Amino acid sequence: MHTVTKVSAMQRLARDWRTKHLRVGLVPTMGYLHDGHLSLVKRARKTVSAGGIVVVSIYVNPTQFGPGEDLSRYPRDLARDQKLCREAGVDVVFAPDDAQMYPGRESGQYSTYVVEEHLSKVMEGTSRPDHFRGVTTVVAKLFNIVQPELAVFGAKDFQQAAIVQRMVRDLNSPVKIIIAPTVREPDGLALSSRNKYLEGELRTQAVALWKAIQKAQATVRGSSQPLKATSLKNQLRELIEHQAAARVDYIEFFDPATLQPLASVQRGSHLALAVFIGKTRLIDNAGM
């Protein structure tokens, strides 16, 4: 395994792989890797097969963070990530800096972004208005740089995965998008790099997200009739905010195909929620 930090060097490698007809799988990450990321690496390796190439990008993308968010303190440990990637059988770690990915941005000389205008308007798009503009831009750039045949994303970021799939479809990008299942701790908390922020009682209280999902699933599956979304959301909010450090950002039931909010909830509906545990904002989702 080796690490590439320059866009031009990564593109040279990509062209070389293409001439050799090697299958290339990309796992885009912001680093501080955990078992959830490694499950995506495993899926990429299985899909490209032993003769293929697996690339993990490690880049904390500034354009998907809004004012006052945790860009400066987002956990970073490249040496640790390199070790985990090496042990997982990754072929190349692509770890560029801001000057490589957004040349001239600080001086106003970078001005091109990729914007999805429909799926990005709800849920995370409402709470974090420019977030998905940053996501689609950096993913499109990574696809142009690495030139993968396939890319693997996690289902924990359900809306992000749907938007990337829409971008690929709309822009005719020759990249197959694979969505791998959410990986959870034994107590149900979805794995996230931001879990590092949770200490002591905050970590215990964070399980409220999973308990809310379980309650919603049990309620929906135990009813023979569609349920009012407003009533069920109020029940989940009460359950979550019973925890002293918990504050709900949003709870939404939606159509998984369109991401549009639902007035009534039944089997096949999807739930997404964003919750602050102290100062740490966590997201999760699940089907009903």
Separation between Cα atoms, residue 175 and residue 173, nearest integer Å: 6
Residue 1 C-alpha from the chain's centroid: 24
Cα within 13 Å of Cα(210), Cβ side: 16
- 37 flagged as catalytic: yes
Start-to-end C-alpha separation, the chain: 41
Specify whether the CB–CB gap between 157 and 283 falls below 8 A: yes
Q: 246 pairs with which residues across the strands?
A: 277
Contact 117, 166 (CB under 8 A): no
> Active-site residue among 2, 21, 34, 37?
37
**Partners of 153 in beta bridges:** 179
How many C-beta atoms surround the C-beta of residue 201 within 10 A?
A: 13
User: How far is residue 211's CA from residue 59's CA, in Å, rounded to a whole number?
Assistant: 32
CB contact set of 1 (below 8 Å; sequence gap of 6+): 82, 85, 86, 90, 91, 92, 93
Active site residues: 37
